């Protein structure tokens, strides 16, 4: 029994931003996971652990097979599901994944020991706020799936370590549609996330040093490509 997440957690995961019939169609028609990925996906859904939704699983297969990144950074490991998925679809990549939740780290360690057969994945324990400052590798693909209000805080460190042409994917950026509303219509407890995500959009969507795309899949993906060595961000 997992303690970190209850059935009432992850409110926005149950507020699809796309027509529900289409979401159901995607979840039932996109190729199912197999083997250990299927087992972990079922476990996470049963225990309300917020791993990527199935349509994002299918999109990641496509994206990673196409881009074939060699150095991947992930912020937000949980039980190691998305790290193992990326390892499977980018078999030449080395993956660094960061998490701070002890319970999740326990599950991730077990799963990586069992299923990371090519030894591609390194789990770094700690708060990304500190861990990111100590990274000394350059990455060509970054998956951001941690506390949403902090994406904007982590962005400068991530961009420093991203190669030109490298891609960052941020998950859950529409917050069940809240992001398009006036802040006064958003629940008080969600407003820090709302403000953080708007700052992230302001810093990236129209930035000449980046190419950005918003994808209405799951709770929304922001994808950015780094176009020049020095990316200028607003203060």
Ligand X SMILES: C[S@@+](CC[C@H](N)C(=O)[O-])C[C@H]1O[C@@H](n2cnc3c(N)ncnc32)[C@H](O)[C@@H]1O
For the CB of residue 51, give the shortest distance to ligand X in the complex, in Å: 4
Chain-centre distance for alpha carbon 124: 16
178 labeled part of a ligand binding site: no
d(CA 79, CA 107): 5
- Please identify the residue of the shown chain whose CB is closest to the bound ligand X: 76
- Number of helices (H), then strands (E), belonging to the chain: the values are 8, 7
Alpha carbon distance, N-terminus to C-terminus of the chain? 44
What SS3 state is found at 158? helix
Dist CA 111 CA 164 (whole Å):
32
User: Taking the complex as a whole, how short is the minimal distance between the CB of residue 82 and ligand X, in angstroms?
Assistant: 4
Which of 63/147 has CB closer to ligand X? 147
Instruction: Decide whether 49 or 159 has the Cβ nearer to ligand X.
Output: 49
User: What one-character-per-residue DSSP string does 163-183 give?
Assistant: EEEEEEEEE--SGGGGGGS-G
128 belongs to an annotated ligand binding site? yes
Establish whether 99 is an annotated binding residue.
Answer: yes
Output the smallest distance, CB 184 to ligand X, in A.
27
Which C-beta is closer to ligand X: that of 96 or that of 146?
A: 146
Between 144 and 210, CB nearer to ligand X = 144
- Least CB distance from residue 84 to ligand X, whole Å? 8
CB of 193 to ligand X, least distance (A): 12
Q: Which is nearer to ligand X, 132 or 159 (CB)?
A: 132
Positions in the binding site for ligand X (CB under 6 A): 50-52, 76, 78, 81-82, 98-101, 104, 127-129, 145-147, 150
Place of tokens 């939704």: 53
Residue 145 is labelled as binding a ligand: yes
Question: Which residues have a Cβ under 8 Å from the Cβ of 60 and sit 6 or more positions away?
Answer: 52, 82, 85, 86, 89
> Which of 102, 185 has the CB closer to ligand X?
102
φ and ψ at 83, to 5 degrees? -65, -45
The least CB distance from residue 60 to ligand X, in Å, is 9
Does the annotation list 33 as a binding residue? no
Residue 206 is assigned to a ligand binding site: no
Q: 178 is written with which tokens?
A: 């809240």
Could you write out the DSSP letters of every residue in 174-211?
SGGGGGGS-GGGS-GGGHHHHHHHHHHHHHHTT-TTEE
Binding residues for S-adenosyl-L-methionine: 52, 82, 99, 127-128, 145
Please report, in range form, the residues annotated as the binding site: 52, 82, 99, 127-128, 145
């Amino acid at each position: 029994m997992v303690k970190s997440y209850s059935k009432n957690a992850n409110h926005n995961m149950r507020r699809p931003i796309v027509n529900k019939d289409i979401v159901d169609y995607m979840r039932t028609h996109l190729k199912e996971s197999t083997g250990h990925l299927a087992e972990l996906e079922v476990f996470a859904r049963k225990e309300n652990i917020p791993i990527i939704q199935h349509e994002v699983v299918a999109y990641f297969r496509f994206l990673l097979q196409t881009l074939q990144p060699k150095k991947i950074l992930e912020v937000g490991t949980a039980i190691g599901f998305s790290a193992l998925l990326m390892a499977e679809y980018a078999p030449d990549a080395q993956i660094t994944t960061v998490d701070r939740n002890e319970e999740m780290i326990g599950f991730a360690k077990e799963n990586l020991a069992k299923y990371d057969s090519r030894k591609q994945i390194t789990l770094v324990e700690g708060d990304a706020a500190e861990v990111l400052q100590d990274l000394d590798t350059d990455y060509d693909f970054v998956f951001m799936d941690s506390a949403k209000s902090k994406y904007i805080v982590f962005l400068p460190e991530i961009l420093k370590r991203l190669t030109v042409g490298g891609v960052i994917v941020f998950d859950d950026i529409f917050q069940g549609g809240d992001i398009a509303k006036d802040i006064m219509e958003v629940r008080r407890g969600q407003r820090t996330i709302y403000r953080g995500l708007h700052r992230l959009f302001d810093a990236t969507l129209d930035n000449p040093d980046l190419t950005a795309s918003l994808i209405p899949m799951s709770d929304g993906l922001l994808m950015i490509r780094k176009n020049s060595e020095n990316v200028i961000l607003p203060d």
